């Protein structure tokens, strides 16, 4: 990130923004292939796009930004690519955490941590601990994350309560399951953006996105910038959100 000693400015947008934006960052490999570059360069440029987007979200007054950093399915990729991705995560946290903290960004991590390498798990936990009291922007990092797996973990937690006799099966509700997800205190995303032109959720926030507006943009993630974010939000504001009831203008 640039201007490491400068605090994030107040929101300057002339229109309302969603409270919570979630992004499926897709297209690093295709961006690199189109330029005759190795996939690792696409991932490196993708990290730069993360930096730009986090800063833009803070400047625009977005309260929560969730990024799909590494899915539970990504472990099936070639070992060399996984090493590159984990190396980028390590460098991002080590190099950028101080600035994120200084700029009032709170880092939260969702996903399964039990089987992560100890150094990765420690980095994620340290980032959360250092920034826990910040309130300018909450950056939710979905790492080793899969939505079906998250829902299964929630079901296991509830099942343990039933098995222990502390909960009747008839008391299980959607609200109770939601309270047992990875970050139940974070509001559901208003807007989910996927880059690269693909039009699917790919096991991302399936529960939380039940009533989210979905915007698919053709831009590969390394080229995503503030203008692309503004355009996606403009599309969001043109939508009518019904939540199963009467239509409500998204930007109202």
Closest CA to 96 of 141, 135, 61, 60: 141
- Report helix, strand or coil for 34: helix
Question: Dihedral through CA 123, CA 128, CA 133, CA 136, nearest 10?
Answer: 100
CB 219 within 8 Å of CB 208 = no
- Report helix, strand or coil for 248: strand
Would you please indicate which residues are annotated as catalytic (active-site) residues? Answer: 26, 74
- Tokens coding 215: 């915007």
- Tokens coding 198: 């693909």
Cα-trace Rg, the chain = 19
């Amino acid at each position: 990130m640039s201007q490491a000693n400068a605090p994030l400015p107040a929101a300057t947008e002339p229109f309302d923004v969603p409270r919570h934006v979630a992004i499926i960052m897709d297209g690093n490999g295709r961006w690199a292939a189109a330029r005759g570059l190795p996939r690792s360069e696409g991932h490196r440029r993708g990290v730069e796009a993360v930096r730009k987007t986090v800063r833009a979200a803070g400047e625009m007054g977005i309260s929560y930004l969730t990024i799909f950093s590494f899915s539970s399915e990504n472990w099936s990729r070639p070992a060399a690519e996984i090493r590159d991705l984990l190396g980028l995560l390590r460098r991002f946290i080590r190099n950028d955490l101080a600035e994120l903290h200084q700029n009032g960004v709170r880092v939260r991590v969702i996903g399964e941590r039990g089987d992560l390498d100890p150094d990765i798990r420690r980095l994620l936990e340290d980032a959360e601990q250092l920034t826990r009291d910040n309130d300018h922007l909450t950056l939710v990092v979905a790492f080793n994350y899969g939505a079906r797996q998250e829902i299964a973990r929630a079901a296991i937690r509830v099942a343990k309560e039933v098995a222990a006799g502390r909960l009747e099966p008839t008391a299980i509700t959607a609200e109770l399951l939601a309270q047992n997800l990875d970050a139940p205190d974070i509001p559901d995303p208003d807007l989910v953006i996927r880059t690269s032109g693909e039009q699917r959720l790919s096991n991302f926030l399936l529960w939380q996105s039940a009533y989210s507006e979905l915007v698919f943009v053709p831009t590969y993630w390394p080229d995503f910038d503030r203008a692309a974010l503004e355009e996606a939000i403009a599309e969001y504001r043109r939508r009518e959100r019904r939540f199963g009831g009467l239509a409500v203008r998204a930007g109202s």
